[in-house]
């Protein structure tokens, strides 16, 4: 639900969803019409459909056991890509794996002063490698959530709140801007 949607928007939807389908078995037995009805307003309806397809697959084919690694999540569940698989594996199962979403891309590019196009395959590959190197092995889920939240709330696309940034002293982009200001 949180993919490309803000937390404030999702809270009521999530609450209603969990009240209606508290278990994977409950969701797996729901009709697509019910799923779409409860999803209505969140947009990207394929996300709700794929969530239900994933629940069905887990219940019917995987014995009720959700895959625990990013690799198997991505391989076995419909609609689960690299980012979602990494987020689930690190947050729910403590797998030491990095994640890269739009917010993390912005944070990594600014902290490391990467000015190249982040959508290029070379830079994207580099960012995934960097995220993997930086993830905290003791608390990978917390680290990944913090990186995503930092990009969403502090290291924003427009007017970043650098004065409130907990990694300001490590940020090469901030250092470069500060140096330029001193020159003028």
| Same domain, yes or no: 112 and 70 | no
Task: Give domain status of residue 179, yes or no.
Answer: yes
Task: Give domain status of residue 2, yes or no.
Answer: no
Q: How many domains, the chain? A: 2
Check residue 2 and give its pLDDT.
Answer: 78
Residue 63's domain spans which residues?
A: 7-93
Model confidence pLDDT, tens digit, residues 127-144: 999 999 999 999 999 999
Model confidence pLDDT, tens digit, residues 6-20: 788 889 999 999 999
Gap between the Cα atoms of 159 and 107, Å rounded: 13
CB 136 within 8 A of CB 97: no
The model's pTM is: 0.88
Task: Give domain status of residue 1, yes or no.
Answer: no
Gap between the Cα atoms of 169 and 38, Å rounded: 44
| Same domain, yes or no: 89 and 107 | no
| Same domain, yes or no: 138 and 169 | yes
Gap between the Cα atoms of 133 and 15, Å rounded: 35
């Amino acid at each position: 639900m949180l993919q490309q949607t803000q937390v404030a928007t999702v809270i009521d939807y999530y609450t209603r969803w969990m009240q209606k389908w508290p278990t994977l078995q409950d969701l797996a037995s729901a009709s697509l019409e019910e799923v779409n009805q409860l999803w209505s307003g969140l947009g990207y309806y394929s996300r709700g459909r794929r969530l239900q397809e994933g629940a069905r697959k887990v219940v019917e084919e995987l014995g009720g056991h959700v895959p625990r690694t990013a690799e198997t999540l991505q391989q076995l569940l419909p609609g689960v890509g690299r980012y979602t698989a990494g987020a689930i594996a690190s947050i729910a199962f403590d797998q030491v794996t990095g994640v890269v979403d739009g917010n993390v891309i912005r944070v990594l590019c600014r902290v490391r002063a990467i000015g190249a196009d982040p959508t290029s395959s070379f830079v994207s590959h580099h960012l995934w490698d960097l995220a993997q190197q930086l993830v905290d092995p003791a608390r990978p889920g917390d680290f990944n959530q913090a990186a995503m939240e930092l990009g969403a709330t502090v290291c924003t696309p427009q007017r970043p709140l650098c004065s409130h940034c907990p990694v300001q002293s490590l940020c090469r982009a901030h250092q470069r801007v500060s140096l330029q200001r001193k020159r003028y």
